Amino acid sequence: EYQGIETGIGNTQYSGQVNLTTTQSGSSYTLTDGARGGHKTYNLDHGTDGTGTLFSQSNDTWGDGTTSNAATAGSDAHYGAQETWDFYKDTFGRSGIRNDGVGAYSRVHYGDSYVNAFWDDGCFCMTYGDGSGNQDPLTSLDVAGHEMSHGVTSNTAGLNYSDESGGLNEATSDIMGTGVEFYANNASDPGDYLIGEKININGDGTPLRYMDKPSKDGNSADSWYSGVGNLDVHYSSGVANHFFYLLSEGSGAKTINGVSYDSPTADGLPVTGIGRDKALQIWYRALTTKFTSTTDYAAARTGTLAAAGELYGTSSNEYNAVQDAWAGVAVGS
Ligand code: ASN
Ligand code: ZN
Ligand code: CA
């Protein structure tokens, strides 16, 4: 029977109508991405273990943009995996989470009213809940990019998921998830420096996290202080998220894709941004060649400076901006 890689249509909840890479086997189509390591998307249908069933149907148009169609979340998850793969490949030349060309898999509709999404190194897979009450499914692009980036971190620096290294692990996922969102350049979900702005996780339409001024969430740290590593890793991440925003966009008020930001610095001094593309290159090089499991904020400063020096030279604007952005979050001298 015929077997081949196809381009289907996904009617997603968050990203509008998109192209999805699928596979045709005879008269059926599945959410199997033959162009990206065979990444598959499964329906757990409220289960909490195993893989459930691979999304499979007799035509190649998936979901209807609403939660009443199970394949809508499947479309968002498949799209998120596809864009995350392409982001890493096109931005860094990385081929999949382990850089070995092998795809992972996604599972949607995990459990009942589950308000989270997570990467699991054991199954080499990612999982999405449907949310609870008026919260929405956790299948947005930045969440997909965030979760898969935990796999990248595990396979590179291996940052321990506690203390300051845990904050750096979380921030790496927010930074790369944001990179994915900007990379996808989707009109329904344009790039921003907010995390989880689409999923109504707080029930009042506010995002989960803010990179320009992390304390806007009521919990995250804007800047380093002794003891910041005792915070939950999703709050100690604020220091590095703020660093990344400052390095990319600079301090002060700014509007990007219709979202307004304001990013005051800890030292009151201005930071001139070098653009997100260069900031991503610096962070990725540090993650993959400088950071280790025990890297803390002081070492992250040293590592990103070394990366910037190698990429742009130690007397470059980029190198100086890394210094200024860390000073802006009270890290280092
Ligand atoms: N969604 C959460 C995260 O990626 C899951 C966890 O607590 N690790 O941070
Ligand atoms: Zn995370
Ligand atoms: Ca976002």
Query: Same domain, yes or no, for 110 and 171?
Result: no
Average of pLDDT values for 306-310? 99
What is residue 297's predicted lDDT score, i.e. its pLDDT?
98
Query: Same domain, yes or no, for 119 and 240?
Result: no
User: Distances in Å between the alpha carbon of 84 and those of 155, 156, 182, 254?
Assistant: 16, 17, 11, 27
Ligand nearest to the CA of 174: 2
Question: What does the CA dihedral 285, 286, 287, 290 come to, rounded to 10 degrees?
Answer: 120
Average of pLDDT values for 30-55? 98
pLDDT band of residue 333 (cuts 50, 70, 90) is low
Checking if the pLDDT of 26 tops 90, the result is: yes
Domain end (from 76, 104, 139): 139
263-282 tens-digit pLDDT: 999 999 999 999 999 999 99
Query: What's the gap in Å between 106 CA and the centre of ligand 2?
Result: 16
Distance CA 48, CA 115 (A): 13
- The verdict on residue 154 lying in a domain is no
What is residue 88's predicted lDDT score, i.e. its pLDDT?
99
Query: What's the gap in Å between 81 CA and the centre of ligand 3?
Result: 15
pLDDT band of residue 1 (cuts 50, 70, 90) is confident
Query: Same domain, yes or no, for 123 and 172?
Result: no
Average of pLDDT values for 302-321? 98
Which residue segment(s) compose the domain that 32 sits in? Answer: 3-139
Question: Is 234 noted as a catalytic residue in this protein?
Answer: yes
Checking if the pLDDT of 40 tops 80, the result is: yes
What is residue 73's predicted lDDT score, i.e. its pLDDT?
98
In this prediction the pTM is 0.98
Residue of 83, 147, 170, 181 marked active site: 147
Q: Report the candidate in 14, 31, 12, 11 with the shortest Cα–Cα distance to residue 23.
A: 31
Query: Same domain, yes or no, for 194 and 290?
Result: yes
- The verdict on residue 155 lying in a domain is no
Checking if the pLDDT of 49 tops 70, the result is: yes
Give me the amino acid identity at 294: T
Task: Give the orientation angle of helix 317-328 with respect to helix 276-289, to 10 degrees.
Answer: 80
The pick from 110, 127, 135, 150 for probing ligand 1's pocket by mutation, whose C-beta has the most ligand atoms within 8 angstroms, reads 150
Structural domains of the chain, count? 2
162-195 tens-digit pLDDT: 999 999 999 999 999 999 999 999 999 999 999 9
Checking if the pLDDT of 307 tops 80, the result is: yes
Residue nearest to atom 6 of ligand 1 (CA): 118
Query: Same domain, yes or no, for 178 and 243?
Result: yes
Checking if the pLDDT of 18 tops 70, the result is: yes
Distance CA 176, CA 190 (A): 15
What is residue 323's predicted lDDT score, i.e. its pLDDT?
98
Closest atom, ligand 1, to C-alpha of 146: 4
Average of pLDDT values for 5-11? 98
Query: What CATH number has the domain bearing residue 240?
Result: 1.10.390.10
Query: Same domain, yes or no, for 239 and 313?
Result: yes
Closest atom, ligand 1, to C-alpha of 147: 4
Query: What's the gap in Å between 159 CA and the centre of ligand 2?
Result: 12
Checking if the pLDDT of 127 tops 90, the result is: yes
Residue of 164, 234, 242, 249 marked active site: 234
Residue nearest to atom 2 of ligand 1 (CA): 118
Question: Is 109 noted as a catalytic residue in this protein?
Answer: no
Query: Same domain, yes or no, for 113 and 42?
Result: yes
Average pLDDT, the chain: 98
- The verdict on residue 69 lying in a domain is yes
194 within 8 A of 330, measured Cβ to Cβ = no
Query: Same domain, yes or no, for 242 and 302?
Result: yes
**DSSP calls for 208-255:** SEESSSGGGGSS--SS--TTGGGS-HHHHTHHHHHHHHHHHH-SSEEE
Respond yes or no on whether ipTM tops 0.90: yes
